Amino acid sequence: MIFNVAQLMKSPFGSGAAFEADIHEEQVQFDNDFKVIGPVDGHTRMRRVNQGLLVDGWVDLKLELECARCLKHFEQPMHITFEELFYPTVDVVTGTPLPPVEEDDVFPIDEHHQVDLTEAIRQAILLAIPTVPLCKEDCAGLCPQCGHDLNLGPCNCEPEVDDPRLNVLKQLLQNEK
């Protein structure tokens, strides 16, 4: 996801110069925390602004996630949008290094005038991953006693009573039987 933007950087600010491109990458691995399944497809638009380039776009991909309830791995299709500023590290005309930008969330345009969207897209994916990923909304999870997958049906475990104050209720239920 690397694009050469030398011609776009030579355009004067305010000229409305822009560059658009489709994204199609096979076998992309952004991070060890999540696995991408299949290709990453999308579109990006880069516009010349005073500071450098404003890059926005979207990607469609599938992630392999682990269900927080039943611990099964499942595929989660995602549509990720991103918008970031990219700052030049060298002057495109003279090739002289530019002073570093004092912001933490800065994405660089490297010395070869190339924009690498990989890190910007990785960060957008991390923000879009659900805090509690579920294989399905009504996932029943695992039995806390035996570990049986409750999506396959109930198990034969008796509910545990951890609170001794509830033993009286347990005795009432046993007396009814």
Residues constituting the chain = 177
For residues 23-44, give the mean pLDDT. Answer: 89
b/e string for 61-81 if b means 16 or more Cβ within 10 A?
bbbebebebbeeebebebebe
For residues 114-138, give the mean pLDDT. Answer: 93
- pLDDT level of residue 33 (50, 70, 90 thresholds): confident
Can you give the pLDDT at residue 106?
79
What amino acid is encoded at 102 in this protein? Answer: E
- In angstroms, the Cα distances linking 95 to 11, 13, 33, 100 are 16, 18, 38, 15
pLDDT higher than threshold 80 for residue 56: yes
- Per-residue pLDDT reduced to its tens digit, 69-93: 999 999 999 999 999 999 988 887 7
Output the average pLDDT for the chain.
88
pLDDT higher than threshold 70 for residue 177: no
pLDDT higher than threshold 80 for residue 15: no
For residues 13-32, give the mean pLDDT. Answer: 85
Weakest mean pLDDT among 18-22, 66-70, 135-139, 156-160: 156-160
- The pTM of this model reads 0.79
What amino acid is encoded at 73 in this protein? Answer: H
